[in-house]
Structure 1
């Protein structure tokens, strides 16, 4: 019996599935590429799938009266891909199990365009919406994986600095040794990339907790130095209503006013126009960093947006204090919520250092939210701040003062 005689009436007379509007054959191939690992399709079978799809007419994917089909024999496909026919048969079975192809052949297994027998792709086309949702989930998990790796990088920087200070102060005491042993069990950076998302999330939470324990020990140790550690200076208790009142000079004040009231506030804050360090970018940066390092951390909290304060409140549950590490983690939680790409944060950290980048995100966040947001593109604003820092013209202190004055007005 002819193969078409055996087909159900719906297949012979019904409308064929088509690609959604805006998607062409190449977009369909790219979609299958993205979801293939989830479907259990290996790279070799995927290459065979691409080769077979490439033999079809692109218009067949858009016509409800047509159906894309590869009529080439397994031997022909094998020759093109430098494989054996047996290997192509294995690939076809793999693609069938994944629901990407349907084989309709003659009784002897032959394929023919005249007899309309071959490898058909309608089963995959009918699942395009499912595959699109699957790709969105894959991309969301990929972004989350990258976000967690970024947080782990922050934990790594903080724990290394904190351990060095702890060893210098207390030597190999039991508490320090326990933290060191836990730290030594952390997976390497390369291994992080291979970790399943769920395992990475568990590790990031453990690493965060270890950082908090190390910082708490550094702060509350019996022989704690009067000089605060760079990562735990001026810790926050429950008093959080103080405001920043630090001014470089009169020009800082002017710049702060402009930052707080400018009508074109998508532009990052400019540097001091008449500060005596203006001609020396390195000195100006050091001057601003010195001012920031002298500001107690509790003064930053009232300047943060409500959303960032929520993240900080969550981190403070069960604890009496917050550290700089908490602000850095909260800032990274706000990145996707603000639509700021991970690359913008990575560039900011590489250019300005993690602490300065943290305050830049706090400023960007505060200016992007609230009843009267001043910044419409948080990602562009952060990149602009990074650019101005690189040029030596970023006035972070002035911008913080502007936020303080705006907060006082409200």
Structure 2
């Protein structure tokens, strides 16, 4: 057609009609696009284009009048159904409602009205020339790449929300577990009630669809409470050990040095007792027998002091038992300890005691011919209830004191 009108029939003109309605040949992508895939992408990115589900329903009805599955190529993308035909295709949608949603699609720049002089929609042929009046789908086709990018951005945002929601849910679970554990080790502390209340409120909030900002704020709050809980649980042991340093030092000087060596018989293939000889004055509470509890009774700060080599191979902070476990997982492959030996040690010793053993082995790494076999030997003793990690740490401290 020699002229493309911009004004609609018997309706006022708007900014949407003043846009460029004829796409130049060079600006129209030459690759055909599946109309239904494009509609799905637009459905995902509908908020970016300011349209609703009902608008998309009308657009779906218009696309159904286009004979091919793919938009583009040399085919003219003008459909010319009547209002009655469109409403029938939309399962009886009222005509006034349909017209309102059509106007939204035109305003969003996804459709262009090409009205005939009398407002009717039809196609007319003049020899080989074909002129159609109706709804032009070419703007939707030309914005296919923009729609795809917007849909991908929405998916990435949804994935960020999903991952953050999982993290908040796991932190809530850990908070509730620490509250129960803290009540056992330090009953009566008001912090445990605060942790339980926060866990309950977080669980209720997670029933809703929370935005990213709300989830990020909840994560920061939960992280702070988890650190408080770990400090409260680990702190008393540390304080108790700080007041008892003199007792441990006296014990190291008075005890038989050979009895607290780092499992020397196991390194040479023999058998050795795990428990050091008792001092005549007072026993060592942490190593008085096989350690049947999963959480070590030896303070964490004493383990770190006995194993300074850990700082050379692990740069992270080690202030809690879970951080010591991360450090052991980090150095374990470099020591030549297989994953199966590490998992078996965790199963019979517990993660915390297994971590102490690994960092203690790192301190004496040059003296151990087969770290993996050595760890399996200690695991066998732990499975038989004949192992305690206390003597290993005391041996290392005794060696440092003697040096």
How many Å separate the matches in 1 of 2:184 and 2:23? 81
Tell whether 2:355 aligns with 1:296. Answer: yes
How many Å separate the matches in 1 of 2:198 and 2:141? 50
Contact 1:69 1:118 in 2 (8 A): yes
How many Å separate the matches in 2 of 1:67 and 1:137? 31
Runs (5+) with no aligned partner, structure 2? 7-17, 125-130, 242-285, 287-292, 315-326, 363-403
Partner residue in 2 for 1:174? 190
How many Å separate the matches in 1 of 2:186 and 2:212? 36
Partner residue in 2 for 1:6? 5
- Aligned pairs for 1:300-311 (under 5 A) are none
Partner residue in 2 for 1:46? 56
Partner residue in 1 for 2:98? 88
Tell whether 2:39 aligns with 1:29. Answer: yes
More RCO (CA 8 Å, sep 6+): 1
Tell me: CA distance 1:229–1:19, structure 2 relative to 1, closer, same or farther (3 Å).
farther
**What's the secondary structure of 1:117's corresponding residue?**
strand
**What's the secondary structure of 2:93's corresponding residue?**
coil
Q: Deviations over 1:291-338 (max 9, x none)?
A: 4522227958xx9xxxxxxxxxxxxxxxxxxxxxxxxxxxxxxxxxxx
Q: Deviations over 1:18-73 (max 9, x none)?
A: 4564743232222212211332322222121112112214377222x544122112
Q: Deviations over 1:173-207 (max 9, x none)?
A: 33333333433432536535x11122222222222
How many Å separate the matches in 2 of 1:45 and 1:23? 20
Tell me: CA distance 1:60–1:141, structure 2 relative to 1, closer, same or farther (3 Å).
closer
Q: Deviations over 1:379-406 (max 9, x none)?
A: xxxxxxxxxxxxxxxxxxxxxxxxxxxx
Contact 1:244 1:299 in 2 (8 A): yes
How many Å separate the matches in 2 of 1:297 and 1:171? 27
Tell me: CA distance 1:289–1:108, structure 2 relative to 1, closer, same or farther (3 Å).
farther
Contact 2:175 2:226 in 1 (8 A): yes
How many Å separate the matches in 1 of 2:41 and 2:328? 51
Number of aligned positions between the proteins: 266
**What's the secondary structure of 1:96's corresponding residue?**
helix
How many Å separate the matches in 1 of 2:344 and 2:205? 31
How many Å separate the matches in 2 of 1:179 and 1:224? 25
**What's the secondary structure of 1:33's corresponding residue?**
helix
**What's the secondary structure of 1:72's corresponding residue?**
coil
Q: Quick one: which of 201, 209, 223 aligns to 1:208?
A: 223
Q: Quick one: which of 70, 80, 96 aligns to 2:79?
A: 70
**What's the secondary structure of 1:86's corresponding residue?**
helix
Partner residue in 2 for 1:15? 25
Partner residue in 1 for 2:68? 58
With the length of structure 2 as denominator, give the TM-score of the two structures.
Answer: 0.54
With the length of structure 1 as denominator, give the TM-score of the two structures.
Answer: 0.54
Tell me: CA distance 1:188–1:97, structure 2 relative to 1, closer, same or farther (3 Å).
farther
How many Å separate the matches in 2 of 1:297 and 1:149? 33
Give the root-mean-square deviation of aligned CA atoms: 4.2
Partner residue in 2 for 1:385? none
Q: Deviations over 1:247-303 (max 9, x none)?
A: xxxxxx9xx96x97xxxxxxxx7x68xxxxxxxxxxx98775224522227958xx9
Contact 1:104 1:119 in 2 (8 A): yes
Partner residue in 2 for 1:113? 123
Q: Deviations over 1:361-396 (max 9, x none)?
A: xxxxxxxxxxxxxxxxxxxxxxxxxxxxxxxxxxxx
How many Å separate the matches in 2 of 1:286 and 1:298? 13
**What's the secondary structure of 1:199's corresponding residue?**
helix
Contact 1:70 1:119 in 2 (8 A): yes
**What's the secondary structure of 1:56's corresponding residue?**
coil
Contact 2:5 2:114 in 1 (8 A): no
- Aligned pairs for 1:315-334 (under 5 A) are none
Runs (5+) with no aligned partner, structure 1? 246-252, 261-268, 273-283, 304-410
Contact 2:79 2:135 in 1 (8 A): yes
Tell me: CA distance 1:195–1:113, structure 2 relative to 1, closer, same or farther (3 Å).
farther
How many Å separate the matches in 2 of 1:224 and 1:126? 72
Tell me: CA distance 1:174–1:51, structure 2 relative to 1, closer, same or farther (3 Å).
same
Q: Quick one: which of 161, 172, 179 aligns to 1:156?
A: 172
State the Cα distance separating 1:85 from its structure 2 match.
0.9
Contact 2:45 2:147 in 1 (8 A): yes
